[in-house]
Amino acid sequence: MQFNSDRLTYYFTTLCEIDSPSKGESKLSSYLQDLFHDLGADLVFEDNSSFVTGSDCGNFVARFAGSRSDVEPLFFNCHLDVIKPCLGVKVRKINDIFYSSGDTVLGADDKAGIAILIETLIAIILENIPFAPVEFVFTTCEEIGLLGAKAFDPSVLVAKYGYSLDSTSIDNVIIGAPASYGISAEIHGLASHAGLRPLYGINAIQLAAHAVSRLPLGQIDGETTANIGLITGGTATNIIPDYVRVDGEVRSHNLSKLFSTLDLFKNTFQDSVANWHDPHNLITTRPSLAFASPEQYPLMKLASDSLPVLRAHQAGSFLSRPLQFIQAGGGSDANFFNASGLPTAILGIGMENIHSVSENIKLSDMLRTAELIYSILTC
Instruction: Cite the active site residues.
Output: 81, 142
How crowded is residue 168: how many other Cβ atoms within 10 Å of its Cβ? Answer: 18
Which residues does residue 315 pair with via DSSP β-bridges, in sequence order?
A: none
> Residues 159, 74: contact at Cβ < 8 Å?
yes
> Residues 350, 170: contact at Cβ < 8 Å?
yes
> Residues 105, 85: contact at Cβ < 8 Å?
yes
Q: Is the peptide bond before 110 cis (omega within 30 degrees of 0)?
A: yes
**Of 15, 118, 111, 28, whose CA–CA distance to 373 is shortest?**
118
d(C-alpha 72, C-alpha 134), whole Å: 9
d(C-alpha 43, C-alpha 158), whole Å: 12
| C-alpha of 68 from chain center | 32
d(C-alpha 291, C-alpha 186), whole Å: 6
Q: Is the peptide bond before 85 cis (omega within 30 degrees of 0)?
A: yes
d(C-alpha 205, C-alpha 254), whole Å: 32
